Amino acid sequence: MSKFVIDEDLPRSLGPLLKKFGYEVHDIRDCGLRGSDDSEIFRFAVAQKAILITGDLGFGNILTYPLKSHYGIVIAHFPNEMSTQKMNRQLINGLQELSVKDLVGNLVIIEPGKIRVKK
């Protein structure tokens, strides 16, 4: 089973939805880390041995967050005008298409109709 840390820039509704699909979830907003800087969020995800799921493109910087130095980073890159429900559905569908091997230690970018994995 995969474990996720959800960054505060994603909808709260994503956590319960991931749990419904059997994932363990920690939401930054419920862990006393609301407003924390990216490095703190990153350290928390690593300490939890969890995949960080975020909308923050800064986590895509592999010089700052080198591949294999973490348990995986998933960047949700969707247009602001996309509904929360549609975004959540595309994220769940994207995650279900990926194997644990695709996620762990890698950078994954999920966009409308597209998934990129940097290994």
User: String of b and e for 98-107 (b: at least 16 CB within 10 Å)?
Assistant: beeeebeebb
Task: Express each pLDDT in 15-71 by its tens digit.
Answer: 999 999 999 999 999 999 999 999 999 999 999 999 999 999 999 999 999 999 999
Query: What one-character DSSP code corresponds to residue 98?
Result: S
Q: Rounded to an integer, what is the distance from CA 96 to the centroid of its chain? A: 13
In this predicted structure, what is the pLDDT of residue 2? Answer: 86
Backbone angles phi, psi at 5, to 5 degrees: -110, 125
In this predicted structure, what is the pLDDT of residue 95? Answer: 95
Rounded to two decimals, what is the model's pTM? 0.96
- Whether the CA torsion 6, 89, 94, 19 is positive or negative: it is positive
Q: Give whole-number Cα distances, 41 to 31, 80, 110, in Å.
A: 10, 23, 20
Token digits for 29?
Answer: 């907003």
Q: Which whole number is the average pLDDT over 94-119?
A: 96
